[in-house]
Amino acid sequence: MARSETQVGIVGAGPAGLMLSHLLHLHGISSIVLEARSRAYCEERVRAGVLEHTSVELLRNAGLSERLNREGLQHHGIDIGVDGIRHNISFLELTGKCVTVYGQQEVVNDLIARRFADNGDLRFECGDVTLHDIEGPQPLIRTNKNGNFDEIRCDYIAGCDGFHGISRFAVPAGALTVYERNYPFAWLGILAEASPSRDELLYMHHDRGFALYSMRSTRITRLYLQCAPNENIDSWSDDRIWNELRIRLGCTDGWLPAEGPILQKSVTGMRSFVVEPLQYGCLFLAGDAAHIVPPTGAKGMNLAFADVYYLSEALDAHYRQNSDEQLRQYSSKCLARIWKAQRFSWWMTSMLHRFHDESGFDHKRQLAELSYVTTSRAAATSLAENYVGLPLYT
């Protein structure tokens, strides 16, 4: 059995785990990142990529923005469409801030490259990973790849391994409270080789279901259609997808999305999920291991960055100042932000998607809400403040 020691063992090489490792490095704190998947899988997995103003600030302050500054697509607002008419919500005018479209896989690529450049200890394809003695005072992580065992002793473990990871399940039954909501629809998402044909994201409310027009780069667009949770992706030919997008996204002024070869398509379920607390003994949960938000509010990766920022600051206070107060406050501080993001994501989702509503009450309520948001500066400002990101450095 190979043995290692470090101050913080990090499970998961997604945005949360990699960012935490980098922030700890900046504080002079050692870490080892363990990932069951291959490096190529982590670098190539396509996920959402809307970065809040606060996340962009964090990346720049951490010295990770060189490619982001060059390739990120800055957006000054969003458009909300109702009955084929677009209404612009100007983040820049309402808040003085904006968001940046930069794919999650690009963030992961930047972080992996930087951690290796800084001689970081990243271990991919670790096989089975298990957590032990997480109550303290010195937990350990074991890996087993084809009978080859590794053991890593550490002071703390950060569970950054996603919703389906092993970290949350290492906590004894009953120690965590789960809050969850599953939505009666999903998103059929595509990546298309088509240059963006508009400057802002378009969130479209339509009688046939919600649709979203977004982009990933100057040559790739990302589009979504509301569909059933059990939708059979094989029943959606490319022609059927583009026809439905033309119907739902079509505007009264004649605008239609630019079309091109579909590079990828998938169906993503919609759920809200939070566990409390985010700490058990020496284990701290962060990112999707602790919470999931519906993608309508573009909060997933941004919440993960906030979690690990607070955790890195708490660990710095522990090692540098011999103070554990921030570690004790980690869960409550993160949860205050998480629940505000959950509220906003639920609100955006419930406002824009069509629900099965035989009485028609919810549909009429949605239309009234959309009218209010698109005509009231106060309502638009509330949307803008939440979308660009609530203050991180508090």
d(CA 380, CA 220): 29
Give the pLDDT confidence score for residue 159 in this predicted structure.
98
Is the predicted pLDDT of residue 393 greater than 80, yes or no?
no
Query: How high is the mean pLDDT of the chain?
Result: 95
Query: What is the percentage of the chain residues whose pLDDT exceeds 90?
Result: 91
| Domains (range + CATH), the chain | 2-76+98-180+271-349 (3.50.50.60), 183-268+354-388 (3.30.9.10)
Task: Identify the CA nearest to 201 among candidates 103, 83, 76.
Answer: 76
* DSSP H/E element including 226: strand 221-227
Name the DSSP letter for residue 307: H
Given a cut of 90, is residue 217 above it in pLDDT? no
Dump pLDDT digits (tens) for 367-379: 999 999 999 999 9
pLDDT at residue 284 in the model: 98
d(CA 274, CA 171): 15
Rounded average pLDDT over 306-329: 98
Query: What is d(CA 255, CA 110) in angstroms, rounded to the nearest whole number?
Result: 35
First to last CA, the chain: 44
d(CA 156, CA 136): 8
Residues taking part in catalysis: 75, 203, 295, 299, 387
Quote the pLDDT of residue 255. 95
Q: What is the pLDDT of residue 186?
A: 97
How many CB atoms neighbour CB 40 within 10 A? 10
Number of Cβ within a 10 Å radius of residue 121: 16
Q: Is the pLDDT of residue 63 over 80?
A: yes
Count other Cβ atoms within 10 Å, centred on residue 247: 15
Residue 48: the pLDDT is 75
Hey, what amino acid is at 290? A
Average pLDDT over residues 108-130: 97
Q: Is the pTM of this model over 0.75?
A: yes
Average pLDDT rounded to a whole number, residues 181-199: 94
Res 358 pLDDT > 80: no
pLDDT of residue 394: 58
